[in-house]
């Protein structure tokens, strides 16, 4: 991973999220605040505009810049959570000119852990972590086993999809959805859907290069 790849990932994720706008918005209208997609799109637009500034930076500095920008521009709960992810990711890869697969997997896990600490949440609470934690665990295992890129990405995509769909049967204990209690059952968590779309976009970009 280098900063050029980070910029390419930003563009790929933005495109995929825009293509999934109606799906994500309908999920958020059902059990969320109704502004999840607006906030995520705002963050993507801001990062896309920031791309020229990110390109000359080392990967850790680029991630820190992304985190600080998201903190100041995304509203709702998403801003601080995603900012915490990128700031922790950048801290984990500090000093590296490029980042190999195992180092990225560890950094990704550190970012996911930062989200959990910031939101005081974990698995089974019908949040984005129900996708991010299983994906982080799988990614660390697969990179440690030195699985080739194409099968690695296929397995990561499958895990993101499975984990996202599993939120349908969960009772929410965080965010606005927790007020609904059992009425939230039957609805996929919008944050989990957003993470699944983003993970698929990055995997597709990596396997197409």
- 182 DSSP 8-state letter: G
In the CATH scheme, what is the homologous superfamily, with its name and number, of domain 3-208? DhaL domain (1.25.40.340)
Question: What's the pLDDT tens digit per position in 73-112?
Answer: 886 777 889 999 999 999 999 988 778 999 999 999 999 9
pTM summary value: 0.92
Euclidean distance between the first and final Cα of the chain, in Å? 13
How many CB atoms sit inside 10 A of residue 110's CB?
A: 18
Using an 8 Å Cβ cutoff, are 144 and 102 in contact?
yes
Q: Show pLDDT as tens, one digit a residue, over the chain (209 residues).
A: 899 999 999 999 999 999 999 998 888 877 666 678 888 889 999 999 999 999 999 999 999 999 999 998 886 777 889 999 999 999 999 988 778 999 999 999 999 999 999 989 999 989 999 999 999 999 999 999 999 999 999 999 999 999 999 999 988 776 555 545 555 577 889 999 999 999 999 999 999 98
Give the Cα separation of 156 and 78 in Å (integer): 23
Alpha-carbon span 165 to 186, nearest angstrom:
10
- Give me 159's structure tokens: 């895990």
Domain extents in the chain: 3-208
The CA distance from 34 to 19, in Å, is 18
């Amino acid at each position: 991973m280098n900063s050029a790849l980070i910029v390419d990932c930003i563009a790929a994720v933005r495109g995929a999220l825009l293509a999934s706008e109606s799906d994500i918005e309908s999920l958020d209208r059902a059990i969320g605040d109704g502004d999840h997609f607006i906030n995520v799109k705002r963050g993507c637009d801001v990062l896309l505009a920031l791309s020229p500034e990110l390109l000359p930076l080392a990967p850790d500095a680029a991630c820190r810049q992304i985190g600080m920008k998201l903190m100041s521009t995304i509203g709702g709960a998403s801003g601080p959570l995603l900012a915490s992810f990128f700031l922790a990711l950048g801290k984990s890869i500090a000093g590296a000119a490029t980042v190999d697969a195992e180092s990225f997997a560890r950094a990704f896990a550190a970012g996911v852990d930062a989200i959990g600490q910031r939101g005081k949440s974990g698995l089974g609470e019908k949040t984005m972590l129900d996708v991010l934690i299983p994906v982080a665990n799988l990614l660390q295992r697969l990179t440690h086993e030195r699985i080739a890129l194409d099968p690695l990405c296929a397995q990561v995509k499958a895990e993101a999809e499975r984990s996202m769909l599993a939120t349908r049967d969960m009772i929410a204990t965080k965010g606005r959805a927790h007020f609904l209690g059992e009425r939230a059952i039957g609805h996929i968590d919008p944050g989990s859907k957003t993470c699944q779309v983003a993970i698929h976009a990055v995997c597709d970009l990596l396997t197409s290069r």
